Structure formats: C-alpha cells, structure tokens
Structure 1
Amino acid sequence: MEFLQRVSQQLFELENTDTVHDLVILGKTYAAMEKDGSESEAGLTTSASPGVFGQLFNRDKGWNPEFLERVQELVHFTYRTKFEPIPKDPAGPSPMNFGMLFRENPLNSIESAINHPDCFCSDIGWGCMIRTGQALLGNALQQLQKLHTKGDSLSHQQTQQVIGWFEDRYSAPFSLHNFVKQGLKLSHKSPGEWFGPSATSRSIQSLVLDFPECGISQCVISTDSADVYEEDLEPIFAKDPDSVVLLLLGVKLGLDNVNARYWNDVRQILNSHQSVGIAGGRPSSSLYFFGYQDEYLFYLDPHTSQLDLASLSSSQEKYNSVHSHRFNKIHFSELDPSMLIGVLLRGSEGWKTWKQDVADSQIIHVLPSRPQDYFLDDDGVISELEDETDQVGARDSTLDGEYVDVAPMCQQAGLSNNDDEFQDVQCKNQKILIFGDHDSTAPDTEVERVLVGQETVPLVISQEPKTAITPVL
C-alpha cells in the first residue's frame, strides 16, 4: 500500500520551473534551486533502482528539499467518507441528492443509503470550505504547539493530539460534525450545504471558545472586512499579556477576480510569521493557501476523498492521512476574490509586531475603534446611534470599518424593495445621511463588502421613474 501511495504521489507532483524567485511558506523563505537531482536529500527517492521505477522515483522536480519538508509538516484536511453519520436537517438538502451520489464511490453511496438513508456519511461536494477552515485552525494549533516546545518540530504525542481533535466524530472538538452543528446554530447552514467564509469563521470562533484546552485564548472574527479594532484586542492583552488570539478576517478583494493592486499585500500576509494561511480563492469552492513564489500561490486541495480519519488504526496511518508532499499552485489572476485570512497573535509583543507589519497594507487596517453611526431625524438633526437597541435595523444600515451599505438605508427611507436602480454599492470613507422617514420594520439585508480599488460598479437602470437619493459627503 505504501508503495502504491508513493507511485500515485510521484505521478501527480508539481514540477518547479522557476529557479529564480524564492519560495515562501507562512513567514519562512527558501531559496529556489537549480535542477540537480537533489530531491533524494528530502527522502523522495528509493534506492538506486534501475528501469522505469528508478526513473519514476528519481524524476527531477526542481524543488528545494527543505521547502518540501516544510510543506509536509502542514496539516492538510480533505473530504472523508464512511464517517459517523450526521442527521439531515428537515429543511436542508437530502443525502440522497443525485449529484452527491455520483461524486462518491458508488459502493459507499449504496452502503450509506441502506444503513443511514437520512444521514450524511460523507462531505464530498459540500465540505471543502470546512476542510480548509480546519486547515487554518490546525496549522495555527501546530504553530502554538511549537511555541510551547521552543523548537521547529513537534513530538509524536503532540502531533497525534492535534490530529485527534479533528477526527470526524462528535466527540472530537474540531470535527466536521461540530463545524456543521455550529453552522446550523449560528449561520443557519444545514448539513449538506456549502459553507462560506463567514459561516466557517463563526463555527471556528464558537468551537475554540468551547475548547480552551487547545491553547487559543480568544478567536476574533470579522465577516465582512479585514478591519481590526484596537478596542477589541487591547483589553485581551491588558488582562493577560501572554494571551493567544486567532484572527479570522473575511474579505472580498475585487469583483470577479483579485484586483492586481492587492497582489503584493496578499504576499505580505503569507510572508508574516503570524500567518496561518488563507482559505477560499475559488468560486463555490475552497483551497488552503500557505505560500507563494512570484505571482503564484501554493495551495493544498481538499477535493480528494479519504476514509474516515477516526477509522484508521495506526498513528502513522493517521499522520500520513493529513500530511502530504502533494500541493499545487495557481496564478493570482485566476483567484476568486472571496477569502478568509488567518492570523495567530502570540502575546502582546506579537500583537505589537503584527500591527507594525500591516501598517502599510491595503487589505488589513488596524483602527483605534469602530466609527460611530449617524442618522438624520425628522427635525434635520444628526443623532448618534450609540444604542443599537433603540434603532431596529441600525446594525445592518451602517457597516463598521471604512464602508457604508446603501441598500438597506434606501429601504428604511421608505423606498420600494423592488427598486432595481439601487444595487448593493459600498461607498468608502463617506458618511451617508438619509433624509426621510425611517421604517424600522424593513427586513434585514446581508451585503458582502467588496474592495474594488479604482474600478466602478455599473448600475442597472429600470424604465420606471425612480426617486433619487443624494448622499451628503
């Protein structure tokens, strides 16, 4: 079996053709190498066997052996099959979905349909964002374990402990099962539904809070921007300077693709020692990005299936199941702009260092406090909305950070919900004052904020006459 795994892995390994630009993995830099057959130093070859297999295992891939060794240290989570059943939600998708049945091994599908017709026994087709979220969290926990051991490698016991926390069963604190459980509770995501970055970050935050033994003191999330507020973080480190904080920042860096002006900022994020990677990056799909070389990002792909991790008998099998040399790369121009950024702040000194590192970032902004919200009352007087409970819907009317959401304000000003002219436009660095009656019964609207740089957003103008609203700047 091990031999077949090695053959399969070698057949699909990525070749490095760039011998100029450095290789970067989560804050560590490795020199590119000339092709000289040195892969044997990384343990990728067998003994000097002749013939086709000798050629197979000694193929020159051009990678720095130290780089490959670091890749294999990363935790990599993929689809799993035949795990502990997850009951379907009455309002959610069915495990007997035609598409899901044919994505999985037919024998596994038939077995699950017979034994557990109303349960999910695999996450194939819907669990990739959860798996990359697990990778963010898992690699953060590995970094934390290394900090405690004051070394670059973990003991066998430490490695197995981290792996055990992610096994696919309800008793494991960071299992797919518990991600789904929290997703239903916090984000209304049923089993079998694809998670987005927001739902994933909410699940991680809740699971970390429920399991302090993992060593992370707090998990602070932002579901619609990379704005970080000192008023949220300073009290944590003031109370305990050794606190460990996991930041999860949901961003959208453009409209259809990542705006080129943010490419270098993404590199800087992955080149930070506090980085634990980025999840997302593909439409209705998710990858785990851990490094880069020039204009290419390296990633681990969760879209391969393996047997339930908890069912594996030996510790070595479990280790091999979540660690691999196999990775791939993608050009910045091919990325989907929706991403979840992970940052691990280790103590108050780490917090101070990270703030300096991102001072010039166009993506991450560290601000003293959230901007205050304003609303124009009937008498033409601007009133501060200090108490959100006094203004139903105020939370969704003005988004925190540098952006203001126009669409819900239009609804609250008494406009029809069918106004096609007003799409979800985000106006940066402006205070929007709305004239008219405030309708507190207007439905809440969830809008995803977009960093668009210098691009403009086209409006679709309907043929019916509309009432224009002019923002006062």
Structure 2
Amino acid sequence: MDNIQRFVNYLLDPEAVNTDLKSPLWSLGIEYSPIPDPPPPPPPASSRPLAVPQHITVASAQSKLSSYLANASNALRKSSPSPEQANSDGQAIPEVPELVTMSWPSAFVENIGSKLYMTYRTDFPLIPRTSNGPSFITVGLLLRGQLNDKSGFTSDVGWGCMVRSAQTLLANSLIALHNTQPGSTEEKNIISWFADDPQAPFSIQNFVHHGWIACGKHPGEWFGPSAAARCMQITCSKFKDANLLVYIGGDAGDVYEDSFMRVSGGPEDFKPTLVLLGIRLGIEKVTPVYHEALKFCLRVPQAVGIAGGRPSSSHYFFGYQNSNFFYFDPHYPRKALPYRADYESYTDDEVASVHTRRVRSIKVEDMDPSMLIGFLIRNMDDWKDWISRVENFQGRKFIHISKSEPMFGQGNSINTDGYVDLGLNRCRRSFSVEPAGNDSEDFEHIALGDDDDDNGVQELESDDDGEQDRKAQEDEDDLDFDKCVT
C-alpha cells in the first residue's frame, strides 16, 4: 500500500516542476541556473545496457509522470492488498520516480537538501495544559486522538506550524552562522538543539513555555509572527552556545541603528545578530507593489528566510524563481526527534528526518501577507553591506532604516496604501502584567541545566486548541501585540 499512499500524496501535494528555463533560481542569497544537468556521457559500447535511459527533460518528466499517475490510478480501483499487486496492464505498480526532482538542476536540489527542515512531530514529552486555556473540539483533535488526553499535548499537529516555521528559520540561521555541512558533527550538534524535549534549548516545549510567559499564548494555541519572534529572541539570549542574538524590528519594517547596536554590542563588541521583521504586506494578499521587495529579502547575502506567508497556516520560504516562491511545509507529522546529549549518536534516519529534497512552490499572489522575515548579520561589515543594499534597492520598500528610535510613538511609517502594519515592535514593550493562570498550582519547574538564570521550562497544563481557529488567532496576533512582554 506504500505505492498507493505515495500516489495519493502526489495528487494532493504535487511536486513543483521546472518549466521556466530562463528565470534564475534563488535560494537564500545564492543564484542558480534553471537549466537541468546535461545527460551523463554514454558508457562504452562494450558495457552499454540493452536500453539506455532517456535523458530527463521537462517534457519527458511530465510525460512519464502522467503515465505513472494513469497506471497508479488504474491500480487504485483494484483495491490492491500488497504493493506487488499487478495493475490492469499486468505490470507491477511503479515506485513514484524522481523524474520531477530531476527536472531541477542538481546543485539547486542539493542546496535544498542541505537545509534543516522542522515539521510537526508526534509522541514527544508532554506539554501540560493550562487550567484556563482554550478547549476546542475539532477534527484535528479527533484525528490525532488527543480529546481524551486531559493532561496535555504530545503532538503539535494542528497548532504548531508557526513554531516549526520559526524553528526552521532559526535552525538555518545557525547553520549559516556556524558554516556547517550536511551530515557533519557540527550539524548534528545544531540538530540536537531543536530536539522535541525540554532539555533542548530550541525545542517546541521551550517555545510554548516562553510563548505563554511572554505573550500569553496557551499551549495548543496557534502562534503568530510576533510570538514566534519573541520566543526566538528569548531562547537565543538564554542559550549562549548558539552565539546568536536577536533584534526585533519596529513597526512597519522599521530598523533603528541605535537599538540594533545596543542588542548586537556595537562596533567594539559586535556579536552575530538575527534581525527579525514582522510585516503585513496587504490585507488578504501581498500588495503587488511589494513583490519585488519580497524577492529582495531572499536574494541578499544576509537572507535566512521567511516564516508565515500561507493563508491559515505557516510555511518557511527560502527562495524564488520569477513569481514562484519555494518553501518547506511543516504540516507533515514525523515521530518526535529525541534529545541526545551525545549528539554524534544521532542515527542516519533521525538526521534524515530534518532534511528534504522535495521542491514545493507557490505563486506570490497566493501568499498570505502576514510574515516574519529574517536577516543574519554576522559582523559590522555585514551590517554596513545590508544597510547599503536596503537603501539602494530600486523599488517600493517596506524596510526602513533610521539612525535612532523615536522616544514616543511607534506608529506606522508607511503612508496611505500601507498595510505594513504588523507592529511587532510592541512585543518589546515592558509590562508588569502576569499571564492569566500563572499561579503556583499551575506550574512545576523542570530544570534544563546548571545555568543560574531562567534557562529552564516550567511545566504547564494546556488546553486542546482548534485548527479552525488558527486564522482568527493569527489575525488577533497581528493586531494585538500588547500581550507580549519582556
């Protein structure tokens, strides 16, 4: 039945096909030619097989994939009890070929495969529920069998996609910062930081914990861009081994040099800093005047990706070709990634679970306008280069760099046709408000290490959350940032 399932997956989520052989491919600041690899040289006549495989072109890939789908469709009607069941032509159901992947340049596919990819996970250590959190009964809860689990969540299916997208953005920032190679010991170390366990500094348990404390997000609630950014900032500040700080930009894509320097340490003591900009580039769709500026955010050398940008869900975007944006989709559950203090002991399967070579794309006009954009600034030269590129960009901008942050008023700097109004800077204001339900009986401390500061996660009780409310929560998160506290 594996072949049948793979066929259904291709119908529901077909892999992108390379049909544009003129427009360059971009992936986090790296440009690739769209031309597929040339065919391999034929073997010597004495060693040639009886049938030399045809070189895969776009046309042949589409033709062969269509033939495969037709054969598999016939097989579906046969109710096959095993993968070896013959179809109506008496042939075994073929494996889904890598024809579509082969229509892309191999260097581009290898680049995709080198990135880290965080997805929904199941069977991880419990995230307890809060006593006064949301309690929605949904199809999602029924499917993942958590209606009867009153103690909390052991899966983030249905509510964790923004967290996973933010983890992916952060993970690839760290991969770029530490210049790690796929399969290396250094990569396994970084992978361990994102394990689905409270001991891992960037685990979903820690994101949920800080989302509750800093932004009032109950376990099981869908995160928006502001809550995700705040959690990235807190977790990076607590985990020194990452060697990464986080600067959250102001309203409307505003970046203030004085506040950035306070975060990064300034020219004398500069530390690598991740710039996060929460942006809303339209009402329901990305306003066309910002399409080129959005591409710019994935083309500059400092680019580390975009989290969000898909209606009622979140993806991680890392590149584009013309008007198509390439992304990772976190909505595919996998078994929880365990935490291993001896990170070199991660198995090949565990490492493979945070990688993919699958090419997915979406038209920019189909993207949701609410998103979180990241740039990695490694040093002062990088900072100066990024500023120069932003200021010299020819087109409608949504990133604005100012020397100093105004003392009063964090208003939207975009004029009449604006829409760039995510207002993430308000997440950085200081409030003395405690999250509701933050009393002693709701919390039990779980130690993460020997750090004297709050490098731990508190055990919460969490309510079930509804997938159908994700969009409503996203809209609320876009507009109400006073929940986020320092």
SS at match of 1:322: coil
Counterpart amino acid of 2:20?
A: D
Q: Is the 8 A contact 2:101 2:358 kept in 1?
A: no
Residue matched to 1:415? none
Residue matched to 1:408? none
Q: Which of 110, 135, 145 is matched with 2:168 structurally? A: 135
CA distance in 1, matches of 2:382, 2:329: 30
Q: 1:13 Cα shift?
A: 3.2
Q: Is the 8 A contact 1:230 1:368 kept in 2?
A: yes
Counterpart amino acid of 2:29?
A: G
Q: 1:237 Cα shift?
A: 4.5
| Cα distance per residue 1:97-138 (max 9 Å; x no partner) | 33332343xxxx2xx566x43211111111000000001100
Q: Does 1:317 align with 2:345?
A: no
CA distance in 1, matches of 2:352, 2:39: 25
Counterpart amino acid of 1:364?
A: I
1:389-468 correspondence to structure 2 within 5 Å? 398-400=409-411, 402=413, 448=478
SS at match of 1:358: helix
Q: Is the 8 A contact 2:257 2:401 kept in 1?
A: yes
Residue matched to 2:32? 30
Q: What TM-score results when the alignment is normalised by the length of structure 2?
A: 0.68
Residue matched to 1:364? 399
- The structure showing larger relative contact order (alpha-carbon pairs under 8 Å, at least 6 residues apart) is 2
| Cα distance per residue 1:291-328 (max 9 Å; x no partner) | 00001100100111111111898521111101001131
CA distance in 2, matches of 1:100, 1:10: 22
Q: Does 1:90 align with 2:126?
A: no
Residue matched to 2:384? 352
Q: Is the 8 A contact 1:36 1:60 kept in 2?
A: no
Q: 1:224 Cα shift?
A: 3.6
CA distance in 2, matches of 1:277, 1:357: 17
CA distance in 1, matches of 2:254, 2:350: 38
- Identity rate of aligned residues, in percent? 36
CA distance in 1, matches of 2:15, 2:235: 34
Residue matched to 1:125? 158
Question: Alignment RMSD, CA only?
Answer: 3.3
CA distance in 1, matches of 2:20, 2:281: 27
Residue matched to 2:112? 71
Counterpart amino acid of 1:14?
A: A
SS at match of 2:252: coil
Q: Is the 8 A contact 2:121 2:155 kept in 1?
A: yes
- Structure 1 237/223 Cα, relative in aligned 2: closer, same or farther at 3 Å? closer
Q: Is the 8 A contact 2:36 2:102 kept in 1?
A: no
Q: Is the 8 A contact 1:103 1:125 kept in 2?
A: no
SS at match of 1:309: coil
CA distance in 2, matches of 1:353, 1:425: 24
Residue matched to 1:328? 360
Residue matched to 1:439? none
Q: 1:447 Cα shift?
A: 9.1
Q: Which of 259, 266, 270 is matched with 2:287 structurally? A: 259
SS at match of 1:141: helix
1:92-107 correspondence to structure 2 within 5 Å? 92-94=133-135, 97-104=137-144
Counterpart amino acid of 2:363?
A: H
SS at match of 2:97: helix
1:124-203 correspondence to structure 2 within 5 Å? 124-146=157-179, 153=181, 156-203=184-231
CA distance in 2, matches of 1:223, 1:79: 30
Residue matched to 2:322? 294
Q: 1:16 Cα shift?
A: 1.1
SS at match of 1:137: helix
- Structure 1 6/351 Cα, relative in aligned 2: closer, same or farther at 3 Å? farther
Q: Is the 8 A contact 2:267 2:380 kept in 1?
A: no
Q: Does 1:269 align with 2:297?
A: yes
| Cα distance per residue 1:384-425 (max 9 Å; x no partner) | xxxxxxxxxxxxxx32462699xxxxxxxxxxxxxxxxxx99
- Structure 1 128/54 Cα, relative in aligned 2: closer, same or farther at 3 Å? closer
Q: Is the 8 A contact 2:318 2:326 kept in 1?
A: yes
Q: Is the 8 A contact 1:237 1:347 kept in 2?
A: no
Q: Is the 8 A contact 1:230 1:366 kept in 2?
A: yes
CA distance in 1, matches of 2:25, 2:294: 15
- Structure 1 246/314 Cα, relative in aligned 2: closer, same or farther at 3 Å? closer
- Structure 1 53/223 Cα, relative in aligned 2: closer, same or farther at 3 Å? farther
CA distance in 2, matches of 1:300, 1:155: 20
| Cα distance per residue 1:218-267 (max 9 Å; x no partner) | 21113643111011123434354541001111000111111111111111
- Structure 1 61/242 Cα, relative in aligned 2: closer, same or farther at 3 Å? same
Q: 1:59 Cα shift?
A: 5.8
CA distance in 1, matches of 2:272, 2:420: 36
* Structure 2 gap segments, 5+ residues each: 41-54, 57-90, 422-475, 480-486
Is the deviation greater in 5-14 or in 121-130? Answer: 5-14
Q: 1:186 Cα shift?
A: 0.7
Residue matched to 2:252? 225
* Structure 1 gap segments, 5+ residues each: 41-49, 374-397, 406-423, 427-445, 450-473
Counterpart amino acid of 1:356?
A: S
CA distance in 1, matches of 2:233, 2:207: 10
Residue matched to 2:19? 17
Q: What TM-score results when the alignment is normalised by the length of structure 1?
A: 0.70
Q: Is the 8 A contact 1:163 1:318 kept in 2?
A: no
- Structure 1 162/310 Cα, relative in aligned 2: closer, same or farther at 3 Å? same
Q: Is the 8 A contact 2:315 2:329 kept in 1?
A: yes
- Structure 1 425/21 Cα, relative in aligned 2: closer, same or farther at 3 Å? closer
CA distance in 1, matches of 2:24, 2:370: 26
Q: Is the 8 A contact 2:226 2:477 kept in 1?
A: no
